[in-house]
Structure 1
Amino acid sequence: MNNSRRDFIRSASTMMAAAAMPSALNAFPKLVAPSDRLNVAAIGINGMGWADLTAMLKNPAAQCVALCDVDKNVLDKRAAELAQKGIKVKTYSDYRKLLESKDIDAVIIGTPDHWHALQMTEACAAGKDVYVEKPIGNSIAECNAMVAAQERHQRVVQVGQWQRSQQHFKDAIDFVYSGKLGQVRLVKAWAYMGWMKSIPKKPDGTPPAGVDYAMWLGPALKRPFNPNRFHFNFRWYWDYAGGLMTDWGVHLLDYAFLGMKAQRPKSIMAAGGKFAYPDDAAETPDTLTTVYEFDGFNIQWEHAIGIDGGPYGRDHGIAFIGNNGTLVLDRGGWEVIPEKDKMEAVPRKPKVDDGLDLHTKNFVEVIKSRKFSDLHTPIQAGANVAINAQMGNIAFKTGKKIYWDAANNRFKDEEANKFLAAQYHNGYNIPK
């Protein structure tokens, strides 16, 4: 980062007066000298990485200078889209070469889950601030290593759980904290994904031209290329991700744990399986119920692929069930359903803003102010929910009710402890 940009970042707190405006675009001056802008690069740009970059570029204080993807077809497509907007970028197929650039201030990591830990920790070590997609890691050990890397290198790290930047989510949690619901004994979080269908089995084959498949695999077990495991559908394979539990679960369980100010449960149990599509190509369960036990309350997770009819008539949401009433929250708004005559109903309060725009705006603001406490989803918050989601999957894999040993940061069951760390392959080592 050149001296001009450093001076700009140090003095940027004076520019934040407009931060309360609803549009991310209005949070900064309309004209920012190129030498005073943050140079941003994106690693993994096929899906959410591209969405994150698009939102960030609405901010005049950020400019994209580089893209990285192991699929040259995607890389060329995105570079061409930026070129149409007058944005010329360098392109990379190897993220390590990108991280060597001294001209890059911050990186977006939108790669498959099994790559997040390595890329985030190496980006921090390279002096970059990081916007990393959720879930932050593909194992509990990775999550812990990512927190340690942020704390060691003192980089700004925002996790892509953008609901934490939406006003109606904040308002709903404030209502939970008010105590009006009475004692909350059960919190339900769920994702019923009717739009997701069965994944037909496909034969192994040759990677598409332009794809560096070895780099795509990275630390994952070396397997023949299969189109089902590539791009979006990698989510349904244990080598790379954790299914709906870690995909949607980290978004929704995040608010369940936040509303209850909860960290680690005493115990976890889970049951489910491939009930809807037992013979299709996916590995992770299409149906799952997980229960987290705390003192005085439980948190329950449910997911079902191929069904839209979730609790309270919603395909996703969080319900705080109290003695006086139930608060139901989803991405569209929130309401309170009274328990008989114990409290007044609260009609549905709809969403009022764009969470992703505000989340990327918050990231840029904190890069400039260096006030880490202003981050809406710091790495510690992302790790809390990612670790709990991993616990749910571990309980499913063991088929047991498992107990957490908080003093030693491990399970009391040795079979469960075998899943604490992801297995790295191909010469890669889990970050220490």
Structure 2
Amino acid sequence: MKIKQNRRNFIKTTALAGAGLGMASRYSTAARWSGILGSNDTINVGVVGCRNHGSWAHLEDSYLNFPNVNVIGLCDPDLASIDRCSKIMYDKGARPAKAYTDIRKMLENKDIDVISVATPNHWHALATIWGCQAGKDVCVEKPVSHNIWEGRKMVEAAEKYGRIVQADHDMRSNTKIEAAVKYIQSGALGKIKFCHSWVYKRRTSIGKVRESGGYIPRTVDYDLYCGPAPMGPLPRVNLHYDWHWQWDFGCGEIGNNGPHHLDLCRWVLEHNDLPERVITFGGRYGYEDDGETPNTSITLYDYKTAPILFEVRGLSRSKDDPLMDSFKTITQKGVKLFYEWESKNPNTANIIVCEHGFVDMGRQIAYDNDGNKIKEFEGEGVNSVLNFVKAVRSRKQEDIKAPIIEGHLSASLCHMGNISYRVGRESSYEEVNDAFRNDYEILDALERTYQHLRANGLNMKELPVILGPWLNMDSKKERFTGEHAEKANKYISRNYREPFAIREQV
């Protein structure tokens, strides 16, 4: 229902509603909501994290367009971000929502039925667990966790408190992709042999101010912003978004866009576990800045059914060409794989290689081994948040397209790749080449990466390459085993800053 009102009064109402946002008690028991919502019952939503995905994917393009759904709470430690979402709601004719800088205060609001979490990664798990404990259903952005251990705690919290918790993995709501997945799983192209996945997305320098510290906007409660992460001088120029490239807050590109594509690979492979082994190598090339995560990397996941090769490129096609790379390679059996790209926009997709052909999952087209089109899949992309709302109404776990367990496992793939990189050592191009001398696909990816960097005026043979070790994973215990386990398992969890700690017993 649209409400006519003066914008100044709208923003004032929104801001004043969140005044007096002090400390709240920790949630240990849920105010259980056991009622079953019918199709005409109103669902009241609190959006946690009001920038980027929070403002459009979890607000403008979703909840504000759904019947019998009201956004009644906006939460962000940055008042400027809340104002941004308040303006979107005003322009859409929605009622003003209460503003909160502290999620604990929002969760005390018994009128809120569900929360949508679109914060930086380091807040995803804690917000979800607190939400479950407060009796709220939760839709949480990818990657659902900042580390493997807390992801498992999210699963435990959802089960313990009987909540609907969805990982916001869009591809599982796309019926064209679902049709392609079922086609592959039917064996129409024979056995799956290999999964190629990549994210080629231009990333520029985030600047270099770590020694002096960056500027923290006066609109930000920095203590609440840091939450579980260490609180010190801002270690970058921009508070927002660039946190992706620093380990205390983000998970790099593999944890940014990677969860969608790795989740799709795991879905195709029908693996409800973690791979036996993982290895990553790469570096941060083209600039020197405060970023810590690689902008160029290759990760191999050794699943029994078929391996997954995941590539990251943060530089454009060449130093003189702003377009992003196409994906082109030739398999060991001579099959030409291709994903043409002529755009500055990100090239992010998957190709599933089978015995008798391959499937372009980005465009949902199946080809034979000679590159002839066999089948183009039909369907539509359903809003993943709409699926979440459907599950909230029905209370049926089967209505959740991406349950939290799926989000946890796919996020864990990202974390595994990052951990191999973080315990790696500086190596030469020749050492990397020698380490994979018997692995055709990795050597091919290494050569393609070499040519990519060369086109950007960088000689990989003269640059240091971080070569991670092969890490062995015990999927049942979700811990590493073997030679490098002691170092690797230090990154399974993190040191949480009180009072923003996740407890062993959720």
> Is residue 2:179 matched to residue 1:199?
no
2:72 aligned partner? 65
1:27 aligned partner? none
1:283, 1:94 → 2: CA distance?
Answer: 29
Higher helix share: 1
State the AA in 2 paired with 1:92: Y
Given that residues 229 and 237 in structure 1 are in contact (C-alpha distance below 8 angstroms), is that contact kept between their aligned partners in structure 2?
A: no
> Is residue 2:264 matched to residue 1:264?
no
The aligned runs of 1:309-348 (5 Å cut-off) are 309-311=325-327, 312=338, 313-314=340-341, 315-330=347-362, 333-340=363-370, 345-346=373-374, 348=376
1:79 aligned partner? 86
For residue 489 of structure 2, the aligned residue among 414, 417, 420 is 417
1:6, 1:224 → 2: CA distance?
Answer: 44
Which one scores higher on RCO, CA 8 angstroms, separation ≥ 6? 1
1:359, 1:404 → 2: CA distance?
Answer: 31
User: Which deviates the most, 82-91 or 396-405?
Assistant: 82-91
Runs of 4+ aligned structure 1 residues displaced above 4 Å come to 347-350
- The unaligned stretches of length 5 or more in structure 2 are 1-32, 317-323, 328-337, 342-346, 424-467
2:59 aligned partner? 53
Provide the TM-score with structure 1 as the length reference: 0.87
The aligned runs of 1:86-97 (5 Å cut-off) are 86-97=94-105
Provide the TM-score with structure 2 as the length reference: 0.75
- Map Cα deviations across residues 211-258 of structure 1 (whole Å, 9 max, x no partner): 101110111112202553521111111001111111111000111111
The aligned runs of 1:142-157 (5 Å cut-off) are 142-157=150-165
Given that residues 180 and 377 in structure 2 are in contact (C-alpha distance below 8 angstroms), is that contact kept between their aligned partners in structure 1?
A: no
1:348 is displaced (CA, Å) by: 4.7
1:198 is displaced (CA, Å) by: 2.6
Query: CA 1:427–1:63 in 2, change beyond 3 Å: closer, same or farther?
Result: closer
1:407 is displaced (CA, Å) by: 4.5
State the AA in 1 paired with 2:366: V
1:290 is displaced (CA, Å) by: 0.5
> For 1:240, what is the secondary structure of its paired residue?
coil
2:476, 2:139 → 1: CA distance?
Answer: 31
1:360 is displaced (CA, Å) by: 1.3
> Is residue 2:365 matched to residue 1:365?
no
> For 1:297, what is the secondary structure of its paired residue?
coil
1:407, 1:83 → 2: CA distance?
Answer: 48
2:44 aligned partner? 39
1:250 aligned partner? 259
1:20 aligned partner? none
1:430 aligned partner? 502
2:214, 2:286 → 1: CA distance?
Answer: 27
- Map Cα deviations across residues 290-335 of structure 1 (whole Å, 9 max, x no partner): 11112252111111102321422242111111121111111xx211
Aligned length: 396
The aligned runs of 1:354-393 (5 Å cut-off) are 354-355=381-382, 358-393=383-418
1:61, 1:6 → 2: CA distance?
Answer: 19
Query: CA 1:130–1:422 in 2, change beyond 3 Å: closer, same or farther?
Result: same
1:348, 1:228 → 2: CA distance?
Answer: 45
1:153, 1:407 → 2: CA distance?
Answer: 23
> For 1:360, what is the secondary structure of its paired residue?
helix
State the AA in 2 paired with 1:300: L
1:303 aligned partner? 312
2:344 aligned partner? none
- Map Cα deviations across residues 352-390 of structure 1 (whole Å, 9 max, x no partner): 5444xx211111111111011110011011011011111
- The unaligned stretches of length 5 or more in structure 1 are 16-31
Question: Which has more radius of gyration?
Answer: 2
Identity of aligned residues (%): 30
